[in-house]
Amino acid sequence: MDSLTQIVLGAAVGEAVLGKKIGNRAMLWGAIAGTIPDLDVIARSVTDTITATAVHRGFSHSIVFSVLMAPLLGWLLHQIRKRENVGWKGWSWLFFWGLFTHPLLDAFTTWGTQLFWPFKTRLAFNSIFVIDPLYTLPFLICVIIAMIKRRDSLSRKRINNLGIYLSTAYLLVTLVLKWVAFTKVEKSLKRQGIEYSQISTRPSFMNTILWNINVDTPNEYLIGDYSFFDSQEISFTSYPKKREVSQLLASREEVQCLIDISEGWYILEQEGDQWVYNDLRFGLIAIDPEKPQFVFRYFLDDNGDKIIATEDRPDRSNMKTVFYSLWSRIRGN
């Protein structure tokens, strides 16, 4: 999830663990703990794009990391701010829950986490976008209200817990919405007589009403979307896999790493003399409505020894068009 959401979650967890003993300091340290797992983005500055992409949401987002780091950070903080009513165990408990709830929340997103590292399985429920106001705003309001109340008041505890309950309930609702959307897609494919091997559904930008769809067929991917306000059949756009022409490049170790990261949802294609790797998991963005591009794509260059990837970020100069198209599509077809 985005940084603000993780800060709010960490603050609420810190309050739940030590708020009664140390007040708003518990929120502060909980918020700090909640951001630590994302320090793995430092890898972008010290290594190549493919390695940094593989590292992201790996070890630092695992149960092992939480278990190892919590007592170490708890002991260090205890040496700096010794409080007899807390002790290193109290600080360690705060850090554990701050560190652990971060990847637990990220597991509901499309990127997911390697929660069970060193096993390579990436846990991704694909039920919430990385920025979702319906999750964050009620949670943030509850944390702010709790912050201004006395630390020993029952109302402070109740309002903080309310934020945790509301956010957790919303996550569960997103799983139900995903199941409903997935069921609608299955029925639509059956009515249209489309044979497939796999379906992937995920919420679109900042909402859980419009769901993006990837469908895997033998020679092509079908990409579409479904809104709960739709009244017509789901339509799909075909994207050929082009596996034959990209077979040699796809066999290279660096490209195989990207394929593993994208869980097999990819298209390798040439644009002129340039090879481009498209990660299909995050769908398309219609900066240019006539020529939408995949959100995550990489230019691949062979320097002889290895493949060098350069991320091609979408041009954000025309985001008004994107938001307008999104809002129009949410309202149904």
Worst-scoring range by mean pLDDT, 13-17, 248-252, 323-327? 323-327
pLDDT, mean of residues 32-40: 97
pLDDT of amino acid 15: 98
pLDDT at 332 over 90: yes
Share of the chain above pLDDT 70, in %: 100
Please write the tens of the pLDDT for every residue from 230-282.
Answer: 999 999 999 999 999 999 999 999 999 999 999 999 999 999 999 999 999 99
Residue 271: count other Cβ atoms within 10 Å of its Cβ.
10
What percentage of residues in the chain have a pLDDT greater than 90?
Answer: 87
Residue 65 banded pLDDT, cuts 50, 70, 90? very high
For the segment 146-183, what is each residue's pLDDT rounded down to a tens digit? 999 999 999 999 999 999 999 999 999 999 999 999 99
Q: What is the maximum alpha-carbon separation in the chain? A: 68
Residue type, 119: F
| Residue 93 pLDDT grade (very low, low, confident, very high; cuts 50, 70, 90) | very high
Q: What is the pLDDT of residue 295?
A: 92
pLDDT band of residue 110 (cuts 50, 70, 90) is very high
Return the higher-pLDDT residue of 131 and 314.
Answer: 131
Q: Which of 33-42, 133-142, 187-196, 313-322 has the lowest mean pLDDT?
A: 313-322
| Helix (H), strand (E) at residue 220 | strand 220-227
Question: For the whole model, what pTM was predicted?
Answer: 0.94
84 band by pLDDT with thresholds 50, 70 and 90? confident
Mean pLDDT of 127-147: 97
Q: How confident is the model at residue 313 (pLDDT cuts 50, 70, 90)?
A: confident
Q: Is 267 left (phi over 0), alpha (psi -120 to 50) or beta?
A: beta
Q: What's the whole-number mean pLDDT along residues 302-318?
A: 85
For residue 200, name the pLDDT band (cuts at 50, 70, 90): very high
Q: How confident is the model at residue 287 (pLDDT cuts 50, 70, 90)?
A: confident
pLDDT above 80: residue 13: yes
Residues 6+ apart with CB under 8 A from 208: 127, 128, 129, 132, 134, 173, 174, 177
Measured at the alpha carbon of residue 269, what is the angle toward residues 265 and 272, in degrees to the nearest 5? 160
Contact 163, 139 (CB under 8 A): yes
Banded pLDDT at 44 (limits 50, 70, 90): confident
The pLDDT value given to residue 138: 97
The domain limits of the chain are 3-173, 184-330
Of the two residues 313 and 20, the one the predictor is more confident about is 20
**Cα→Cα distances 45→3, 98, 223, 261, 303, Å:** 19, 25, 34, 20, 20
DSSP letters spanning 280-305: EEEEEE-SSTTS-EEEEEEEEEE-SS
